[in-house]
Amino acid sequence: MSTCRVISCSNMKGGTGKTTTVNSLAAHCARKGFRVAVIDLDPQSNLTIGFGVDPQDLKGSMYDVLAPQSIPIEQVMVEKEGLFLAPAHMDMVRLEMQLVSLYGRETILNKKLLAIKDNYDLIIIDCPPSLNIFTINALCASDYVIIPIQCSSYYALYGIAQLLESINWVQQELNPNLEVLGVALTMENRTRISGQIIEEVNRQFEKLVFKTVIRQNVKLSEAPAMGTSIFGYAASSQGADDYARLAEEVVKRAGL
């Protein structure tokens, strides 16, 4: 049996740090010597672009992998900084509609990953800010889900109940192995709101909350423009330090 762990990063609220978390966790783990792949399931393609890959230049993307006349996922993978990326493309918006009436549409990605799991220790999936067919595919293909919550936002907990409901549904109907690995607090900025959100998240999720709180750090928002991770761009920044510590917690919890 494969020892590969598949982890989705999901929150239907936009801008909670999903993509930054996927990029940083993957980069740290690849630097530690794990065989890592990341999958961009968001048509916005932020993860793809943040790795310095232009979706327009690609031979193929997750569109081609998930589309009805699909191709193997290895065919679209590109190597970046010691890890492998399965890129997204804007066309995936169209794909969502094409899949609506397809039988077994929730488990396409799971089937695709079976073919590559032996090649990796860790596969991390970046989900779109929505509970659509891509997020459901990610949850069906995953062992774990990480939920990043933006503590600098008053609306931080908006949509969490719906995400937990979807996780529950997937656990019952399609993937009994799925577990919430943890809740990651992101973009902490020493405001009163941040403090209140941290308190509320700890009250609701208790031990599930990762000890590391990711602080707001401008280097984290600059790194994608350089086409690299925080470790490639500013290895001694607060952002790199926070994500390295979070990654160590993830590695431990996931039993890697």
Ligand X SMILES: Nc1ncnc2c1ncn2[C@@H]1O[C@H](COP(=O)(O)OP(=O)(O)OP(=O)(O)O)[C@@H](O)[C@H]1O
Least Å from the CB of residue 219 to Mg ion: 18
- Comparing CB distances to ligand X, the nearer of 17 and 116 is 17
Q: How many CB atoms lie within 10 A of CB 6?
A: 25
Which residues does 252 contact at the CB level (< 8 Å), separation at least 6?
Answer: none
Instruction: For tokens 């308190």, name the residue.
Output: 199
Binding status of residue 18 toward ligand X by CB under 6 A:
yes
Binding site partner of 221, from Mg ion, ligand X, none, Cβ cut-off 5-8 A by kind: ligand X
The only residue of 8, 19, 110, 237 in contact with ligand X, by rule CB under 6 A: 19
Beta bridge partners of 126: 9, 40
Least Å from the CB of residue 135 to Mg ion: 12
Side-chain half-sphere CA neighbours of 93 within 13 A: 6
- What is the per-residue binding string for ligand X in 174-203, x denoting contact by CB under 6 A? ------------xx----------------
Question: Which residue of the chain is nearest Mg ion when measured via CB?
Answer: 19
Asked if residue 55 lies in contact with residue 87, where contact means CB atoms within 8 angstroms, the answer is yes
φ, ψ (nearest 5 deg) of residue 71: -120, 160
Beta bridge partners of 5: 122
Beta strand 36-40 with 144-150 is unpaired
Least Å from the CB of residue 208 to Mg ion: 21
Binding status of residue 10 toward ligand X by CB under 6 A:
no
Binding status of residue 18 toward Mg ion by CB under 5 A:
yes
Binding status of residue 135 toward Mg ion by CB under 5 A:
no
The only residue of 129, 229, 230, 251 in contact with ligand X, by rule CB under 6 A: 129
Reported as type and span, the H/E element at residue 84 is strand 83-86
Least Å from the CB of residue 103 to Mg ion: 29
Structure token digits, residue 251 = 């590695």
Reported as type and span, the H/E element at residue 40 is strand 36-40
Residues that bind Mg ion (CB under 5 A): 18-19, 46
Residues that bind ligand X (CB under 6 A): 14-20, 42, 44, 46, 129, 186-187, 214, 216-217, 220-221, 224, 239
